[in-house]
Structure 1
Amino acid sequence: MGTLQVLRLGFWMTMFLVTAALPSGFTPAQWFNKQHVQYPKTKASSDNIYCNNEMRQINKHTHQCKSFNTFLNYMLENIIKICFTTSITCKNPTYKNCHKSTSTIPVTNCELTSGHYPDCRYRGTSEMAYFIIACNPPLPADHSRSELLPVHLDSTTSNSGPILILSS
């Protein structure tokens, strides 16, 4: 895992650079949904317990401890609607079709603190944040009528900040 520090409007943000292969049996949209969409948020006595439980479900598909993950505690249908807003530049250069939410939503961040698969331990934090997603047309296995589906969570931020808009 690498880290990248970014100066944005006088605030330093650390972004975790995480790359992961698509597990077998998932389309990119299905894997996005599995990794990042959790609505309603599962009840747990703390965000740490929530993250330990939810990350276990993700890690079993990759057989490793994912170092960092964000759950969007928001309805998938509303996340999909963001795919139809103005395109912006993605932070991850692998993706070209990013879109930023127009309002903050509840998110839960899970950061690996210790352990080795399958005993991964996480620290969880909840906040209200904007999110940026990359969207692509669905694959036949997605069984979706939507023209676009989220396939990558590019970033989240509690700062509305400037965005780069791509011209069509």
Structure 2
Amino acid sequence: QGPKTLMMLNLLGTFPLLLLLLGSWGPVDPLGAWAQPRTRAQWFAIQHISGGPVQCNNAMRRVNNNNQRCKPQNTFLHTTFRNAAATCRLPTRPCRNGQNNCHRSARPIGMTFCNLTRGRFPNCRYRTTRQNQFYTVACNRPQPGDPPYPLVPVHLD
């Protein structure tokens, strides 16, 4: 530490120490675990990407915790985000909502379908069904924080 720094610390007394201690605690965000901002592609990955078959009662906890409710239905694709993003490079087709940013997978893949059977949040209970099917995703340009692909999946159509 230089003489100017020491002189400044002496003039300020213990105030810098107090600031240092307060700053070391870091920012406090009591809702941080619940309200973390996510891009649409990140939320797509949470809701729909799994490395393989899942058990719905367990897999749906992460999905349901975001909105604090039992989502009635959900589909998990047994693939990687990279493979789902590669689907975005295939020819476009109309989406169910009429937009023209959907893309159909080149081949069927394994999927897990989760259907709510009973329960109230957080005790949601699901029926688990597995199938091999084609899937269709809506794709958009990536947002900051997304992987650097030309297009990323944002919705399972």
Give the structure-1-normalised TM-score.
Answer: 0.70
Q: CA deviation at 1:77?
A: 1.2
Residues in 2 aligned to 1:58 and 1:85: alpha-carbon distance in whole angstroms: 28
Which position in structure 1 is the counterpart of 2:38? Answer: 26
The answer to whether 1:131 aligns with 2:139 is no
- Determine which of 68, 71, 85 is the counterpart of 2:73: 68
Higher helix share: 2
The answer to whether 1:151 aligns with 2:148 is no
Residues in 2 aligned to 1:38 and 1:147: alpha-carbon distance in whole angstroms: 22
Q: CA deviation at 1:79?
A: 1.1
**Unpaired segments ≥5 residues, structure 1:** 1-22, 43-49, 155-168
Range with greater deviation from structure 2 (33-42 or 114-123): 33-42
Q: CA deviation at 1:90?
A: 0.2
Same amino acid, percent of matched pairs? 41
Q: CA deviation at 1:24?
A: 4.7
Residues in 2 aligned to 1:90 and 1:115: alpha-carbon distance in whole angstroms: 32
Which position in structure 2 is the counterpart of 1:102? Answer: 106
Letter in 1 for 2:127: R
Helix, strand or coil: the match of 1:118?
coil
Which position in structure 2 is the counterpart of 1:12? Answer: none
Which position in structure 2 is the counterpart of 1:5? Answer: none
Residues in 1 aligned to 2:81 and 2:144: alpha-carbon distance in whole angstroms: 18
Which position in structure 1 is the counterpart of 2:96? Answer: 91
Alignment of 1:110-129 (within 5 A): 110-129=114-133
Residues in 2 aligned to 1:145 and 1:30: alpha-carbon distance in whole angstroms: 13
Q: CA deviation at 1:25?
A: 1.4
Q: What does the per-residue CA deviation read over 1:40-61, in whole Å, with 9 as the maximum and x for residues that have no partner?
A: 445xxxxxxx100000111011
Q: What does the per-residue CA deviation read over 1:91-140, in whole Å, with 9 as the maximum and x for residues that have no partner?
A: 124x4300001110000000000011111000010000100000000001
Structure label with greater radius of gyration:
2
Q: Please provide the CA RMSD for this pair.
A: 1.3
Residues in 2 aligned to 1:150 and 1:121: alpha-carbon distance in whole angstroms: 27
Residues in 1 aligned to 2:90 and 2:69: alpha-carbon distance in whole angstroms: 35
**Unpaired segments ≥5 residues, structure 2:** 1-34
